[in-house]
Structure 1
Amino acid sequence: MSKPKQARPLRLREYEAAIAALKEQRPWLARQIVEPAPGHLAVVAHLFAQLEYLLPPAVLARKGSLSVSCNRDRLAIHYQPPRRHSERAAAVLDLIAQTKHLSQQQCPVCGVQVVGDGIRPQRCPQHDGIQGLFAEEVRRSRQLIVEQGVQQVVRDLGKVTSEDARAAVAAENEPVLSEAEPEQVQEQSTEAAKSEPAPSIVFLDEAGLEAFVDRHRPKGDDKFKRAQAMAERIKRAGHGSRQLGLLPPDWKALLDEFAQAFPNFHELAELLRDHFALSSLGDGRVSWPAVLLVGPAGIGKTEAARWLADQLVLPFRVFDMASTQSSSPLAGSESFWSNSEPGQLFELLAYQPLANPVVVLDELDKASNGRPQYDPLAALYTLLEPRSARNFIDLSIRDFSIDASHVNWMATANELEAIPGPLRSRLTVLHIQPPKPEQVRSIAQSIYNRLRDESSWGTAFADRLGDDVLSRLQALPPRSVRLVLQRALGSAARDGRGVVQVQDIRPPVEINRRGVGFVSEGWN
C-alpha cells in the first residue's frame, strides 16, 4: 500500500498568490480581512462557498463584516451579521463554528489532516515543534534545530573514538527498495530524510590530529598553543566526523524559484534538477558535480551560487582566483615557513559541522600561471577529483588528511580557452548567456523580493515594483541591480513612501564617473 502524498508548506509568495486568486474568484472579499494560516486555506475557501448560499454577495461585501485570521495556529473568524438578515445569522455562526472545528484537524502549515482532540490546534509530525507558517520560516527553524542538535552531537562525540565513528558510518542502514510508483519516489525518500539523522562521514583520522598536537609540544608555548587551539576548534565542529547538509523537502519548488530568479541560468537549473532527483532517491544529501559557468562579467554567476547556498542552508565561500598568487588559499602554506597557515578551504571544512559547503572559484580563467611551485591552480587538480579529494592534505598540516570530496564546487569564467585542458576536463562546463531585457526585469523583481524577505522592514514596501521602475532597471547588469535597489529603497523610506519610484533609481557611482557601457546608454 503506497504512502499518502506529503504536502509541503507554501512560500510566502505562493500564499499571497493564493489569497489574491481567492479574492479574484469572489470579489466580495475585496474589502474583507483574509489572512488564515496556509494550511487552513482549503477549509476557509469552503466556508466562503457555503456563505454564498446563505447570503447574497452584496451583503457579504459590506466592509469590515468578515475577518479571517490566524492566532497561534488557531483559525480566528469574526463575522458581524446585518440586521435585516438576522434570521440567517444562526446558520452562518453554526457554519463558522464547524469550520473552526475542521481547521483544528488540519496542520496550519501544510494542511495535512492530523488526529487531535478537535479542541486545540495541532501540527502534523513533519512540522511539530517547528516555528513559522511559511516555507522560508520552516527552513530557518529547521536549520536552528539542526545546529542545536549538532552542538549536542559534538558534545556526545567527545566520548566516541574514531573506531566507533568508522563503525557507525559502515553500519548505516542500506536502503531496501520496495515497489512504488514513480511519482511516490520523492515523497518516500523525503519522508525518510526527515525521520533519519543527516548522513555523516569520517572526515579525518583523530589519531593524526593528536599526533599534530604532540609534534608541536616541544616547539615552544606559542606554536603548541596554536596547535591546541586548532585541534579544539576541529573537535567542537564534530571531532573526526562531519554531517552532510540535506535537500529541503520542497527542493523542486526551490529550483523553480531559482529558475525564476535567474532565468538565464536554465542549464544550471536543469543540471541541479537531475542531481537532486538522484540524491532524493538516496540519503538526500545536497550534491552536484563541479561546475564551470562561462559567460560575460556581471551577469550574476556568483550571485546565483550565493542564492543556492543561502536557500540550501549551506556554508559558502568565494575564492577570488584573479588576485590569488599561489595555492595557499586553497592548500595552505608549507610548514617550513615561520608564518605557515592552513588554507581557507581547510578552515571552512574543519571548523564547522557540514562537509558539503558551496565553494565558488571566481574568475578561474584569470588565475596567474606563474612558477609551478606557486601555481594557484595546482591544488585544484586534487580537489576537483573526488577520489583524490577524499585524502586532501593541507600543506601546513601534513599529519593527517581531510575528506574534501563532498564540496559543491562552482567555478566562473569569462573565457573558456584560458583554463588549462586538464582542469576543464574535471568540470561540467555550462555556457551562461547575458539576460535579455525582459529577463533582467524578472531578475530585478526577484532581487527586490529577496531584499524585502531578508529585511525586518520589508513589509513596509509594496509587493511589486512598478513597470516604469523595472524598465529603468532593465538597463543594468544583474551585479548592479541589488546595490541600486538598496539605495532606491532607502530613498523611498526617507520620503516616507512604501513604493519605489523612478526618481529613486540612480546609476552606480562608477557608471556616473566613466559613462561607459550599455548601462549608461540606456539611461542617457
Structure 2
Amino acid sequence: MDTRQLTATSSFVLPVAQVRSVFDPNEVERRLDKLHGMNGDPREHESLRNTYERMLERGPQRFHVKPAGIPDMASLYDDLPNFTEVLDDVRRHVALAQDSRDGLEVTPMLLLGPPGVGKTHFARALADLIGTGMNLVPMGSMTAGWLLSGSASQWKGARPGKVFEALIDGQYANPVIVVDEIDKASSDAQYDPLGALYGLLEHDTAGAFVDEFAEVPIDASQVVWITTANDTRGIPDPILNRMNVFEVPAPTAEQARHIARRLYQTIRAAHDWGRRFDEEPGEMLLERLSALAPREMRRALMVAFGNARLDGRSALGSADLPRGASARSRIGFMN
C-alpha cells in the first residue's frame, strides 16, 4: 500500500489508499499497432492514434484516495444546512473505509430539488473533501448524448467522453463526476443520452467501461457519481434504482440567513481586499440576502462589496445589493 499523502485544497490531509490501474497498456499497444498497420491516409486516424499514445505516455496508474479517518465535517454541515441527510450518507461511506485497505466507495446519488438550492455547490464540496476534483457533465446540452461515452472514431469531429477524459487525463481513479440536470437529457430514436449510465452506475460493469471513441476498456468502478434533477420525471426507473435518491429542501428562512452570513465571511476571507470590510454583515443585509436562492447570493454579495468599496465604506448595506435583488419574495424557501 502506498502511504504517501496528498493535501487537498480543503485542508484535509488525504492518504493515498492505493495506486490503481485504470486500463491495460497491452490492449492499448495492440490497438495502436493495428492503426499503424492500416493502409490509407495516415491522417484519417490521427486523433485516435494521439489518444492511444497519450494513454501510454501517462501510464495506467492513478491514485485512489480517501480522507484520513473520519474528517471533521462540521464546516460542511454549517455551510450546507439543508444537506444534512446527504452529508450523513457521505459520513457513513467514509466510516466504512476508515482503518481499512479499501478505497472510498460512495453509492451513486441523485439530488432532487428546485434550482438554486445548492446541489452543484454540494458536489464541489464533496470533491474537495475527497480531494479528487469535480467533473461537470451538463445533460441539458444538445450534445449531451455524446458527453458520457464519447463518439465513434470514424465520425467527423469524434472525441472521447467525459468519463474517459476524467480517468485518462486526470490523476485519480475515483474522481467526482456530476451529471447535472439529468432530467433534462434530450433523446432521439438513434441514441439514448443516458444509455451509458446503465453500466456506469453498476460497480461490476463499470469496471470494464468502453468509451465509443477509444474502444479500450477502462476501470470506472471507483468514480463517485452525483446526479442532479428538479424532479424524477423523465428519469428511467432502472437509472433511479441504481442510486440513492435524496430530496434536498430549499433552505428555511433561518437557514438562508445562516448561509448568507457564511458566504459573506467566506468571500471576505478569500480575498486580500476582504480586510477592508467588517468581519460581520449587518442584519438588514442578511435579511435582504435571505430572500435569494443560495447560488444568487454570491453574485449579489460581489456586487455589494464592489459598491461599498467605491463608496469608501467598510460596511455593506442593503442598498449595495443589485437592483431588484432585495425585492424578491421568498418563493421556494421553507417557512
Q: Please, what TM-score do these two structures have when normalized by structure 1? A: 0.57
Classify the secondary structure of the residue corresponding to 1:340: coil
1:506 to 297, 322, 326: 322
User: Which residue in 1 is equivalent to 2:35?
Assistant: 216
Q: Would you say the 8 A contact 1:324–1:376 is kept in 2? A: no
Deviations 1:93-125 (A, max 9, x none): xxxxxxxxxxxxxxxxxxxxxxxxxxxxxxxxx
1:295 aligns with 2:113: yes
Cα 1:223–1:466 change in 2 (3 A) is farther
Identity of aligned residues (%): 33
User: Which residue in 2 is equivalent to 1:230?
Assistant: 51
User: Which residue in 1 is equivalent to 2:204?
Assistant: 387
Q: Would you say the 8 A contact 1:247–1:284 is kept in 2? A: no
2:124 to 294, 299, 306: 306
Classify the secondary structure of the residue corresponding to 1:486: helix
1:243 aligns with 2:100: no
Distance in 2, Cα, partners of 1:464 & 1:392: 50
User: Which residue in 2 is equivalent to 1:262?
Assistant: 80
Alignment of structure 1 residues 95-244 onto 2, 5 Å: 138-139=11-12, 194=15, 197-217=16-36, 218=38, 220-223=41-44, 225-237=46-58, 239-244=59-64
- Could you tell me how far 1:278 is from its partner in structure 2? 0.8
User: Which residue in 2 is equivalent to 1:417?
Assistant: 233
Alignment of structure 1 residues 282-431 onto 2, 5 Å: 282-283=100-101, 285-371=103-189, 373-398=190-215, 400-431=216-247
Alignment of structure 1 residues 42-57 onto 2, 5 Å: none
Classify the secondary structure of the residue corresponding to 1:361: strand
1:472 to 285, 288, 300: 288
Deviations 1:446-467 (A, max 9, x none): 2223323433433333332221
User: Which residue in 1 is equivalent to 2:329?
Assistant: 518
Kindly tell me the number of residue pairs found equivalent between the two proteins: 328
Classify the secondary structure of the residue corresponding to 2:62: strand
1:461 to 274, 277, 296: 277
Alignment of structure 1 residues 45-84 onto 2, 5 Å: none
1:494 to 262, 285, 310: 310
Deviations 1:337-381 (A, max 9, x none): 13321112211111111111111111111212321x311111110
1:252 aligns with 2:71: yes
Query: Partner amino acid for 1:230?
Result: T
Q: Larger C-alpha radius of gyration, 1 or 2?
A: 1
Q: Which has the higher strand share?
A: 2
Q: Would you say the 8 A contact 1:484–1:507 is kept in 2? A: no
Q: Please, what TM-score do these two structures have when normalized by structure 2? A: 0.87
- Could you tell me how far 1:507 is from its partner in structure 2? 4.6
Distance in 1, Cα, partners of 2:198 & 2:6: 43
Q: Would you say the 8 A contact 2:185–2:194 is kept in 1? A: yes
Cα 1:324–1:355 change in 2 (3 A) is farther
- Could you tell me how far 1:227 is from its partner in structure 2? 3.7
- Could you tell me how far 1:409 is from its partner in structure 2? 0.8
- Could you tell me how far 1:138 is from its partner in structure 2? 5.0
- Could you tell me how far 1:420 is from its partner in structure 2? 0.9
Classify the secondary structure of the residue corresponding to 2:148: helix
Deviations 1:411-432 (A, max 9, x none): 1111123311111100101111
1:452 aligns with 2:268: yes
Q: Would you say the 8 A contact 1:325–1:374 is kept in 2? A: no
The more displaced of 411-420 and 305-314 is: 305-314
Looking at both structures, which has the greater relative contact order when contacts are Cα pairs under 8 Å and sequence separation is at least 6? 2
Distance in 2, Cα, partners of 1:288 & 1:492: 43
Cα 1:422–1:224 change in 2 (3 A) is closer
Classify the secondary structure of the residue corresponding to 2:155: coil
Q: Which has the higher helix share?
A: 1
Query: Partner amino acid for 1:215?
Result: K
Cα 1:521–1:388 change in 2 (3 A) is closer
Cα 1:447–1:220 change in 2 (3 A) is farther
Distance in 2, Cα, partners of 1:402 & 1:309: 21
Distance in 2, Cα, partners of 1:198 & 1:130: 11
Classify the secondary structure of the residue corresponding to 2:97: helix
User: Which residue in 2 is equivalent to 1:25?
Assistant: none
Alignment of structure 1 residues 36-47 onto 2, 5 Å: none
Distance in 2, Cα, partners of 1:304 & 1:311: 10
Structure 1: 5+ residue stretches without partners: 1-128, 143-192
Query: Partner amino acid for 1:245?
Result: V
Deviations 1:259-317 (A, max 9, x none): 11110111101101111111113247443110011111211111111122234332212
Cα 1:497–1:285 change in 2 (3 A) is farther
Distance in 1, Cα, partners of 2:284 & 2:318: 7
- Could you tell me how far 1:320 is from its partner in structure 2? 1.4
